[in-house]
Structure 1
Amino acid sequence: ELKKKLSKLEYDNKILQDELLAVEKSPYLPKTLARLHYSVTLRRDEILKNEFGASINEKQGSLYEIKNQLRKYAPLIGLDPDIARITVTEAIQNIIEHGHGSYAHIEMEINNLATNPYMKMSFKHEMKPGQQYTLTQIEENAKKGDINSEYFDFEDARGRGEFLMKELTDERQIINGVELDDNGEKIHYFKRILINYRDPKGPRMETSFDEIREEIDRLDTDDVVCYFHTDHKQARLNSITVITNKSEDHRVRKIMEEAGFSLSHRDTYSRTLFSSYKPLKDVTREEIEHLFVKIRKLVQAEVEYKHGNVEF
């Protein structure tokens, strides 16, 4: 009787293992899957109220299946499933715990048609008006999670999470944007994008500014625009794209050229300019941050001018 029970348990365990690893072990899906898109919106406030800090069965929690979805599909393009799960765990934990608003939006995209297949994960939540969470702030927090940093803080969970996301992803993008809700009201949001490639040293996906263009379309005609996009190739700065109102063109170009950059490409969109600059020398992260501060001050001066507070 005991042998029968053991045999049944072994059989049930094998069936369960086969189900869990069906996608990872499939000889067909890596060749047949072209694209995959997974999207979910969670009631962030409910998770905070009922799950965070409570003793619950993790497998019944709101986040368990999402983490497993990313873990399940990562091997199809040659990614480590455990690294994928750790990354998404830290990112979800971050937006639930430190975000704002009632909802959290999570998306995963797998592109198996690209020359270098990739998994793109995005995590989005509402921000209080006037607040931003910039890449500079993220880098500062990541130092608190780096055991080799003088700023290391063992008890800083957010720092640990930021450090892990930085170390475990090939490419990061940060968007502080604006969208319209169902009532036409402007909602400020923060969006974190994490990308992992089959070959971390291989070609990267082309930068798309479609989301920023959509942002610009949502703004009022008298709103002032200021976006920065940095592009790195194998840890080296490749270019910086500055997006501002056309009226800022000459002043921004002067700042960039004085800092050792050369204009390489320019696109006009609506009332804005997308100007890409190539560095003519090695540039440190501190120098880039200083550059952004100067341009932000320039743009802020235009904001003050539009409100009639200063001469411009």
Structure 2
Amino acid sequence: MQNDAQKKISALEEENRKLKERINSVVDSPYLRHSLDKLVLKISLRREEIVKLEFGKSIQEFQGSLFEIKELIRRYAPVVGVDPDSARISATEALQNIIEHGDGPFAEFMLEINNSFSNPYLKMSFKHEVAPGKKYTLTDMNKNALKGDITSETFDFESARGRGEFIMKELSDERRILNGVEVLPDGRKIHYFQRILINYKHSDGARAETSFDEIREEIGRLDNEDVVCYFHLDHKKSKLRNLTVAIPKTREEIVKKILTDAGFELVHKDTYYRCLFLSFVPENDKNIENLDKLFQKIRKKVETEAET
């Protein structure tokens, strides 16, 4: 009887050992850190189905729609030297956010592992539809993050709301956001919000240049009469490092004057179709909360393009 029990225990221990090997296969691999150059994965989720069937229900976590995504991030983060638990926690908060607060039937997730860059990084992108006219800015994000910061006057002891923004802010080396418009195959235009979280192997090391390929694709899909006006903020923690605007060519001088008068220096210009990408760096520290007023001023000038 004792021998049978011992055999069962040994079998369970062996099964547990093999399970741990599979779970830790990436981090323990002597090959992947050297051989894996880039990994890009894109997943489209039926957001409304997840809300209806999973949120607020008692389900096994490993059977949930988001479990494999979070586990994939945890498994591959060590390849580029990023802490797997921090990356998984950031992804968990962002995924919960886009499913719970998103609008419309879909939500998209994209994972990028870049081991060829001088400072390897893990990049996660979260995208969902929003109601027309709605937006969520960096200012909004930072205000909400303060609700989860115990050192802030706006910390809310009574409510856990806002903790997610604080966690993502603290655990990410870089955050980017995009409020855009996408044209679907059926011709319907939707407004969307996209959050990008990046973690580098060396948090104080080199930063990857922002890619505007996605915005270029959007501009290519728009009608000629549609007015283009995009803003991109590149920052470390809460400090603004770079501002890029995508605008019609005819509004170049007007926008340049607005931004130079506001204390920005033009450092790069790129032409695409009938649009320009103008990149600026702040000449001194900027109060991010006041940037919205600046953007509203630029939008007002750019939108006159539709009237001329």
Matched, 1:207 2:210: yes
Partner of 2:109: 106
TM-score, structure 1 normalization: 0.91
The match for 1:29 among 15, 25, 32 is 32
What SS is found at the alignment partner of 2:162? helix
Residues 127/234 of structure 1: CA separation in 2 closer, same or farther (3 Å cut): closer
Q: Is the 8 A contact 1:142 1:161 kept in 2?
A: yes
1: CA distance, partners of 2:143 / 2:214: 26
1: CA distance, partners of 2:21 / 2:165: 34
Residue type of the partner of 2:128? H
The match for 1:6 among 5, 9, 16 is 9
Q: Is the 8 A contact 1:96 1:104 kept in 2?
A: yes
2: CA distance, partners of 1:106 / 1:239: 25
| Overall identity of the aligned pairs, in % | 57
Partner of 1:118: 121
Residue type of the partner of 1:262? E
Residue type of the partner of 1:13? N
Superposition map of 1:119-138 within 5 A: 119-138=122-141
Cα deviation, residue 165, structure 1: 0.8
Cα deviation, residue 30, structure 1: 0.7
Residues 233/54 of structure 1: CA separation in 2 closer, same or farther (3 Å cut): closer
Q: Is the 8 A contact 1:141 1:162 kept in 2?
A: yes
1: CA distance, partners of 2:200 / 2:52: 36
Q: Which runs of 5+ in 2 are unaligned?
A: none
Residue type of the partner of 1:16? L
Residue type of the partner of 1:37? V
The match for 1:229 among 204, 210, 232 is 232
Matched, 1:20 2:26: no
Partner of 1:159: 162
Q: Is the 8 A contact 2:175 2:195 kept in 1?
A: yes
Q: Is the 8 A contact 1:143 1:159 kept in 2?
A: yes
2: CA distance, partners of 1:138 / 1:125: 16
Cα deviation, residue 155, structure 1: 4.9
Q: Is the 8 A contact 1:178 1:218 kept in 2?
A: no
Partner of 2:244: 241
The match for 2:270 among 246, 254, 267 is 267
2: CA distance, partners of 1:150 / 1:53: 31
Q: Is the 8 A contact 1:94 1:158 kept in 2?
A: no
- Deviation track 1:128-167 (CA, whole Å, cap 9, x = no partner) reads 2222222221112111121111111245444111111111
2: CA distance, partners of 1:109 / 1:263: 30
2: CA distance, partners of 1:34 / 1:51: 35
Residue type of the partner of 1:88? A
Q: Is the 8 A contact 1:126 1:189 kept in 2?
A: yes
Report which stretch shifted further, 145-154 or 76-85: 145-154
Q: Which runs of 5+ in 1 are unaligned?
A: 307-311
Cα deviation, residue 40, structure 1: 1.6
2: CA distance, partners of 1:297 / 1:149: 34
1: CA distance, partners of 2:281 / 2:37: 34
Matched, 1:54 2:57: yes
Cα deviation, residue 298, structure 1: 2.8
Cα deviation, residue 231, structure 1: 3.0
Partner of 1:171: 174
The CA RMSD measured in Å over matched residues stands at: 1.9
Partner of 1:309: none
Q: Is the 8 A contact 1:107 1:123 kept in 2?
A: yes
Superposition map of 1:88-103 within 5 A: 88-103=91-106
What SS is found at the alignment partner of 1:293? helix
TM-score, structure 2 normalization: 0.92
Matched, 1:79 2:121: no
Cα deviation, residue 276, structure 1: 2.0
Q: Is the 8 A contact 2:245 2:278 kept in 1?
A: yes
1: CA distance, partners of 2:165 / 2:197: 12
